[in-house]
Amino acid sequence: MKISYKIVNVLSLCLLVSGCTSKEQTRDEFVQGLVEKMTLDEKVGQMTQVDKRMLDSESDIAKYFLGSLLSGGGSVPADNTPGGWVDMINSYQKQALSTRLKIPLIYGIDAVHGHNNVVGATVFPHNIGLGCSNNPDIVYKVNQATAVEVAATGLHWTFSPCITVPKDDRWGRQYEGFSESTEIVTRLTHAAITGYEDALDVFGGKKIAACAKHFIGDGGTTWETGSLQEGMHTYKIDRGNTKLTEEELRKIHLPPYLEAIKAGVKTIMISYNSWNGVKCHGSKFLINDLLKEELNFEGLVVTDWAGIDEIPGDYKSDIITSINAGIDLVMVPGALYGNSHYKTFIELLKESVEEGSIPLSRIDDAITRILRVKYDIGLFDDPYGKVDHASQVGSEKNRQVARNAVKMSMVLLKNELNVLPLKKNQKVTIVGSGANNLGMQNGGWTVEWQGRSTPDFKILDNNNDEKLDLSEVTSYFKSAYDAKYDAGSANGFFKNMDKDSDGDISMDEFKKSKLESPYQPSGTSILNAIEGAIDSEGLITYDPRAEDLSKGGVILAVVGENPYTEGVGDNPTIGLSSFDTAILERCYESGNKLVVVVLSGRPLIIEDHVSNWDGLIAAWLPGMAGEGVSDVLYGDYSPTGKLSYSWPKNTDQLPLNEGDAEYDPLFPFGYGLSY
């Protein structure tokens, strides 16, 4: 009997392998047939990715045989609803399918913590929180739910997960990484990839593509080696130089990519950073020799946004260097922000092939990889989105996944005399910039590239006269952003709300503006979540500026960072804002018990404050489901999160990571209490 079972198992395995081989052979024959039919113009078009905002005309998709479009942060349809996305992408797809060979577009987006560009989508905790859960199951569920919502809006590809290993808390992308630990990042990578790429049963097996990024060493750059100027912001570490030996690079930053390839990831994005002075986008050793040949990655290699532009030399030499290094698809993305026009890219790439600077064999390899991905996710069979699928966006099922993810990601760092969990029959005064600010809960990459701070009317109304003037708004933003304060943004915030241009914003104008520019209609702030969890009236007092703190009860201060991403978030001080610091000082003077919830994309410098706090929870950037924060605060869920990053005492220690020769953190890697 045992022998029979073994025979059956062997036969089953053979059939499985045979089936996979047969499918791959069918795919490869189909793709090869297409490649042989394609003209050089068609091949060059397939290697071109354009942000939809930068199209001169929709007809250019057909005219130039464009292979891919994307929506960068804030690149949304006029109707930024799930159905609006389906309609927009189908319109673009119709252009692609009108061409001679009818090769469909693949449309990509940064769905990095949910389908975060889409108003109404479920927005989950950023990776820093998921890393503190260290739970592959919840990572899988978060990414599977995200994949459902991406597919439901007609998109095909998410530029996620970020499997970086960040080593310096000052980096503006710290929160995009699961951990400073290579082991934790690697452990969560398989679930992150398969969560996105596994077949979606709700849509009959439809698939999307994931993108492991950024290859390689993006989290290991050295402070002050960044140089890009973005408006008033200088990138201090983002896109900088990673100074490591090859052995160190392989040990620290390569293992997550080995796991991603093992998981079957379809695409990998190259990083902006340099490795020992050489831009990754131009490194033949990293892309062709290491990634494609040594690691045998057979998927598609894509650049980051205008990534080839940072290679030394003129634009034509950038194209030649990057394509010969192994780049398959170039996120051009267009000329809106001063980068090269996609028509210029197309012209120069074609010219480079015709003159022999790029061999046709390299072009054919790139096209083969691009078409294989399109085939594998079913675009040739089912290229159009379906409006009726849009109902899956923001579903109650996905919202529950978000709530669970929030609960699992929170880290209890201090709990003097068991001040936590709070009791549902005790009086609590809630203060702080983050208590009723969904923008702070969500962080960057939410609706807009940099996210959007969403202070409520009450916190802005400094003199409590039920109207806002410009001085109140600018005063708030100055103290909330400190050195990152942007006067233009503050003035724009005010003018957009001052509908009648009379110099004052009424409550009605404030509400109307929020309706006209929706951010997260279904989001639940921490304040609203707590109010929803407490049945009795009069127990919760919202006093955002801590102006009327009576004796007795407990104060809950929700403080932290305003949203940012990439180099805009590079920050030498990473401390609390002067706004929140002033509020905390009032709390200390009151003599009441004080519980602090920190909303941040990294550990913040709090050494001078923490001795005054009875309770401390790191909530990171939990997203829209504030209910998960309330669940932990009130003991409906006992915290299980552990620090996936070391928490420094001061900036002189930075960068600080477990295993450093001089390791003396405020809270060590792996620390976390429970009830």
Collapsing DSSP to helix, strand or coil, 31 comes out as helix
Same domain for 158 and 233, yes or no, is yes
Binned at pLDDT 50, 70 and 90, residue 596 comes out as very high
For 190-234, the pLDDT digits (tens) are 999 999 999 999 999 999 999 999 999 999 999 999 989 888 899
In-domain check, residue 670: no
Residue 14's CB is within 10 A of a number of other CB atoms, namely 10
183-192, 205-214, 509-518, 647-656, range with the lowest pLDDT: 509-518
In-domain check, residue 284: yes
pLDDT at 277: 98
Same domain for 163 and 209, yes or no, is yes
pLDDT at 338: 83
Instruction: CATH number of the domain at 606, please.
Output: 3.40.50.1700
pLDDT at 14: 47
9-23, 134-148, 480-494, range with the lowest pLDDT: 9-23
Choose the catalytic residue: 149, 176, 180, 304.
304
Over residues 283-290, mean pLDDT: 98
Residue 437 has pLDDT above 80, yes or no: yes
483 with 573: CB under 8 angstroms? yes
In-domain check, residue 662: no
| Phi, psi values for residue 157, rounded to 5° | -155, 125
Over residues 288-305, mean pLDDT: 98
Name the DSSP letter for residue 125: P
Amino acid present at 582: A
- Distance (Å, rounded) from C-alpha 572 to C-alpha 555? 30
Binned at pLDDT 50, 70 and 90, residue 4 comes out as very low
Domain final position from 392, 419, 434: 392
Binned at pLDDT 50, 70 and 90, residue 507 comes out as very high
Binned at pLDDT 50, 70 and 90, residue 20 comes out as low
Angle (CA) 133-186-199 rounded to 5° is 85
- Residue ranges making up the domain that contains 594: 410-454+519-653
Sheet with strand 300-302: strands edge to edge: 211-215, 267-270, 300-302
pLDDT at 34: 98
In-domain check, residue 504: no
Same domain for 351 and 429, yes or no, is no
In-domain check, residue 354: yes
In the chain, what is the greatest distance between 2 CA atoms, to the nearest angstrom? 88
Q: Provide the CB-side half-sphere exposure for 112 (13 A, CA).
A: 30
Residue 254 has pLDDT above 60, yes or no: yes
pLDDT at 2: 40
Same domain for 307 and 430, yes or no, is no
Instruction: CATH number of the domain at 292, please.
Output: 3.20.20.300
Collapsing DSSP to helix, strand or coil, 411 comes out as strand
Same domain for 44 and 172, yes or no, is yes
pLDDT at 8: 43
Mean pLDDT for all residues in the chain: 95
Q: How far is CA 401 from CA 40, 115, 140, 267, 391, in A?
A: 46, 14, 10, 26, 17
Same domain for 358 and 428, yes or no, is no
**Residue 408 token pair:** 């699992």
Residue 372 has pLDDT above 90, yes or no: yes
For 571-582, the pLDDT digits (tens) are 999 999 999 999
Binned at pLDDT 50, 70 and 90, residue 551 comes out as confident
373-377, 496-500, 578-582, 646-650, range with the lowest pLDDT: 496-500
Same domain for 281 and 175, yes or no, is yes
In-domain check, residue 470: no
Same domain for 140 and 224, yes or no, is yes
Residue 137's CB is within 10 A of a number of other CB atoms, namely 12
Report the domain count for the chain: 2
Binned at pLDDT 50, 70 and 90, residue 340 comes out as very high
Contacts of 258 (CB under 8 A, 6+ apart): 186, 295
Over residues 23-29, mean pLDDT: 95
Contacts of 13 (CB under 8 A, 6+ apart): none
For 30-65, the pLDDT digits (tens) are 999 999 999 999 999 999 999 999 999 999 999 999
Amino acid present at 423: K
Is 498 marked active-site?
no
In-domain check, residue 462: no
Angle (CA) 5-7-12 rounded to 5° is 95
601 with 450: CB under 8 angstroms? no
Residue 3 has pLDDT above 70, yes or no: no
Give CA torsion, residues 142, 147, 153, 154, to 10 deg.
170
Q: How far is CA 393 from CA 96, 200, 625, 652, in A?
A: 26, 14, 15, 45
Name the DSSP letter for residue 462: T
Choose the catalytic residue: 168, 197, 259, 566.
566
- Distance (Å, rounded) from C-alpha 271 to C-alpha 218? 6
Residue 673's CB is within 10 A of a number of other CB atoms, namely 17
- Distance (Å, rounded) from C-alpha 100 to C-alpha 37? 10
Is 566 marked active-site?
yes
258 with 292: CB under 8 angstroms? no
pLDDT at 360: 98
Same domain for 230 and 370, yes or no, is yes
68 with 49: CB under 8 angstroms? yes
Chain-centre distance of CA 640, in angstroms?
A: 23
Same domain for 382 and 417, yes or no, is no
Contacts of 478 (CB under 8 A, 6+ apart): 485, 490
Beta-strand runs (E) in 525-608? 540-542, 554-560, 593-599
Same domain for 265 and 375, yes or no, is yes
In-domain check, residue 485: no
pLDDT at 301: 98
Same domain for 341 and 435, yes or no, is no
- Distance (Å, rounded) from C-alpha 265 to C-alpha 190? 9
